[in-house]
Structure 1
């Protein structure tokens, strides 16, 4: 009954994912209200989302949802908001994230950097088939893991930790204020209903 009469083309779906029709500001506004309405303490909601955002700064694409949920579970965060937090890592932000964590990691490890990080990543993925990687992972990906993934992992740990702190600090305040204001509104509405009911009973008694 509620399905679209005409299904979206696969290209349209992909375009929506990269650039929503409503605009990113509308998406962020929706996420803010959606986060604040989720049952749970401000700590759990904010910590869960921060886990998803922080995990987005690791090179383990495809495992972000799982890693975010695991991290949120360990620190008592909300599993649902941890999944929502992974939206920080998207096709628009991944190139910048990868370059940032790679250079930070190389700086910390004292390793030389490459001027074409993204090109080297794509070239490595093109050079080997899935069967070659699975049959001899260290032979095919060993140098790549050491020169690219290792510094990205180290840099991701540092930047991801800072990202966690920033998102938690901001969202905890937003969620706490939203829930407090919502509680005040509900309390005022309940008080008004009681006053109306009390007045009606008095009028009936007279």
Structure 2
């Protein structure tokens, strides 16, 4: 993707006909997925999470692409070091010869723990940042500003409809 394509995608996300919280939730779940060490399946995981949790597919997939090939190794190293510290494992060098589960196996427990916590923190931060960006972007356009105002006032049901409760007479 070039710079113009990224800009157009961001505008499309910010202008979606949806509650800002719904847009931000999808993006945040995608960001969490992007931090996990499940290489090659981030996009399918994002699609599955979007269907499972009824999130916007575009924002969830976009969030899953936040951790790029340029950042994946530093994120993995940070995840390992953080997980190692949390597990109180004696420090050892983190050397990867390739990005595969075979290469990560000796570091798996620490990487999974570290990436889960870092991913959760990144997801929370990205939720609030995305929500703020959606609202800020929409203020510039009267139609989008009205959409945002109405969706915030009316709310948006992100959960399944409540089950009918039968009352016995």
User: TM-score, normalising length from structure 2?
Assistant: 0.72
C-alpha distance in 2, partners of 1:91/1:64? 12
Aligned residues: 146
Higher helix share: 1
Larger Cα-atom Rg: 1
C-alpha distance in 2, partners of 1:31/1:185? 17
Q: With CA pairs under 8 Å and 6+ residues apart, which has the higher RCO, 1 or 2?
A: 2
Aligned to 2:20: 42
| TM-aligned CA distance change 1:183 to 1:34, over 3 Å | same
Q: Please show how residues 90-129 of structure 1 align to structure 2 within 5 Å.
A: 90-119=68-97, 124=102
Q: Unpaired runs of 5+ in structure 1?
A: 1-19, 126-143, 188-206
RMSD: 2.8
Aligned to 1:151: 110
Aligned to 2:42: 64
Give CA-to-partner distance per residue, 1:22-77, whole Å, 9 cap, x none.
45xx5553342121122321111111111111111111112212332344445543
C-alpha distance in 2, partners of 1:45/1:38? 8
C-alpha distance in 1, partners of 2:75/2:5? 21
Q: Unpaired runs of 5+ in structure 2?
A: 147-169
Greater CA deviation, 161-170 or 27-36?
27-36
